[in-house]
Structure 1
Amino acid sequence: MSTLLYWLDPWEPSPTVVICVLLAAVLFARGARHARVSVPRRLSFWIGLVALYVALHTRLDYFFEHEFFMHRLQHLVLHHLGPFLIALSYPGAALRAGIPFAWRQRWVRPATQTKVARVFFDIVFNPVIAVTLFVGLIYFWLLSPIHFKAMLDYRLYRVMNWSMVIDGLLFWWLVLDPRPAPPARLAPGRRILVVIAAIPPQIILGAYIFFTPHELYPIYSICGRAFTWITPMRDQQVGGLLLWIPGSMMSVIGALIALRHWLRLSARSRLRKEREPGAGAPVTDAKTPASTAS
């Protein structure tokens, strides 16, 4: 027990992480009692949420800051695995039901119906922008000068990690939405194309990091490595492989799940609305991610 408590003790305590995780947990636990949430969906949500917490707020953060391949493992959880599992649980109805009805009527609904909110979600859920953000953030934070500064400045380090979490949630929510369009933002076929489009850039960047013959991220050697038995180049190669193979495989799995939704909706004749005039136009009544999945 003492060993477990040691590893759960955060390397750098963050009230923001604790509040956000607790809020999501309480809302889902409250709402799951009223919304119909199957056991597999509940497990998917809780595993995803715990994965995010472990990657953000435990002693493992020391290793994430002192080894490049551990940093890539952290971002694989923050940007891919954790958000993927949460989106796969389709927790929108449960999270919505977890908010007191009076609060929904007075605060949540008016906030999601403002022009600013509609424009924001129209932008981030645009398929081209969604793919660009999903891949672009990986490239941006792995630019050597940016990465150097992010690993030295704890404020920029936290911005980096939270940007990966938020973007991951938005992207996988868009791709794994099980509903027809509308009310979903994208038609099932376009969801498949969106997630497939994110695969080649990840492969290219992972291969570049793996095959580069010199050290791209000297910050880990400067600040001291957690594992002295791993050479800088081997550390970099393993990090490149984590981006290249597991990261791309997560996108392949996402595409297969989107394909499954497409086939299921087609078999149930629930794609008719997508063939009606104007059905391909963006939905103007934007909603928060928590209210768009059921």
Structure 2
Amino acid sequence: MNLLYWLEPWEPSPTVVIVMLIAALLFARGVRKAKVSVARQLSFWFGLVALYIALHTRLDYYFEHEFFMHRAQHLVLHHLGPFFIALSYPGAAMRAGIPFVWRQRFLRPALQTRWVRITLDLLFHPVVAVVLFVGLIYFWLLSPIHFVAMLDWRLYRVMNWSMVIDGLMFWWLVLDSRPAPPARLSPGRRILIVVAAIPPQILLGAFIFFTPRELYPIYSICGRAFTWLSPMRDQQIGGLLLWIPGSMMSVIGALVALRHWMRLSARTRLRNEKRAPQTTSVQSKASSRALPVRQH
């Protein structure tokens, strides 16, 4: 078996191919116009390739037939791939990759609509972001939900895409390197939300690891890829993957957010951030005092 064999999709999905091609094309076009360092480019391509491998290769067969492989897949879809894409800060490059006419006619008006702004404000609220990030892991690992998701290919794809989209939103919020505004959260809050996501992952991973009964019999019913691995051992390895690597990714995210905080503080960007509202209020008071002046 060669590399092409493993790159061949187990279940072909036009959606995966189209989304990956669009993202790659926009970023490649934008790099020509926006200033993107080599390190950021490598980070983006690594994250995108990782998502493609976890979604659209022959490895998908093993993701569907072993619990610990399924957890490894979601570790890539929810943590690793989105983390490296967000770490590359591709927003400016991808916007530059969109034709200017399309940005003016479609993208900007769509982002300025009331419902889009309300939806984005809700999804990027720190409490909602943490609840979604952790809640989706818990939801898809509920035994009845997981059983159905692994049997229905449509629900299986919804599960995987929900992890990708939520991972991108969460890490985009946490790894934003700008002061607030224009970033949605201040550096301190970014650290708090990623730290808040660690304990629930540890608890769930520990619960799966120490549970003395089989929680996910669907893998035994459909047939396991590795017959030499017992169901309980498979479950324990899956719990460890959620417990240790998943939590470690959050710790790394907190360290990156802390680094951004220290960098902004060293450049006095945080002081300017605090003074901006005061300057605005002073200017508004001065302008209001100037209004009663009459012209003769």
TM-score with structure 2 length normalisation?
Answer: 0.93
> Is 266-275 or 201-210 further displaced after alignment?
266-275
**Residues 120 and 278 (structure 1 numbering): CA distance in 2 closer, same or farther, change over 3 Å?**
farther
Partner of 2:72: 73
Equivalent runs, 1:103-252 vs 2, <5 Å? 103-252=102-251
Partner of 2:87: 88
Amino acid at match of 2:150: M
- Find out whether 1:5 has 2:4 as its counterpart: yes
Q: Distance in 2 between matches of 1:277 and 1:136?
A: 36
Q: Distance in 1 between matches of 2:274 and 2:104?
A: 34
Q: Distance in 1 between matches of 2:273 and 2:197?
A: 24
Give the drift of 1:276. Answer: 4.1
Give the drift of 1:3. Answer: 1.2
- Structure 2 segments unaligned to the other structure (5+ residues): 279-296
Partner of 2:258: 259
Give the drift of 1:5. Answer: 1.1
Amino acid at match of 1:155: R
**Residues 273 and 116 (structure 1 numbering): CA distance in 2 closer, same or farther, change over 3 Å?**
farther
Q: Distance in 2 between matches of 1:57 and 1:98?
A: 25
Report the RMSD for the aligned CA atoms in angstroms: 1.0
Kept in 2: contact 1:204–1:244 (CA 8 A) = yes
Q: Distance in 1 between matches of 2:171 and 2:121?
A: 16
Structure 1 residue matching 2:2: 3-state secondary structure: helix
Q: Distance in 1 between matches of 2:259 and 2:189?
A: 13
Partner of 1:101: 100
Kept in 2: contact 1:187–1:274 (CA 8 A) = no
Kept in 2: contact 1:182–1:273 (CA 8 A) = no
Percent of aligned pairs sharing the same letter: 80
Q: Distance in 1 between matches of 2:5 and 2:225?
A: 17
Kept in 2: contact 1:69–1:235 (CA 8 A) = yes
Superimposed CA distance per residue, residues 82-125 of structure 1 (whole angstroms, 9 cap, x where no aligned partner): 00000000000100000000100000000011011100110010
Q: Distance in 2 between matches of 1:183 and 1:277?
A: 12
Give the drift of 1:4. Answer: 1.1
- Structure 1 segments unaligned to the other structure (5+ residues): 280-294
Give the drift of 1:277. Answer: 7.5
Structure 1 residue matching 2:269: 3-state secondary structure: coil
Amino acid at match of 2:152: D
Partner of 1:287: none
Partner of 2:53: 54
Q: Distance in 2 between matches of 1:7 and 1:137?
A: 29
Amino acid at match of 2:203: I
Which structure ranks higher in relative contact order (CA pairs < 8 Å, sequence separation ≥ 6)? 1
Q: Distance in 2 between matches of 1:157 and 1:167?
A: 16
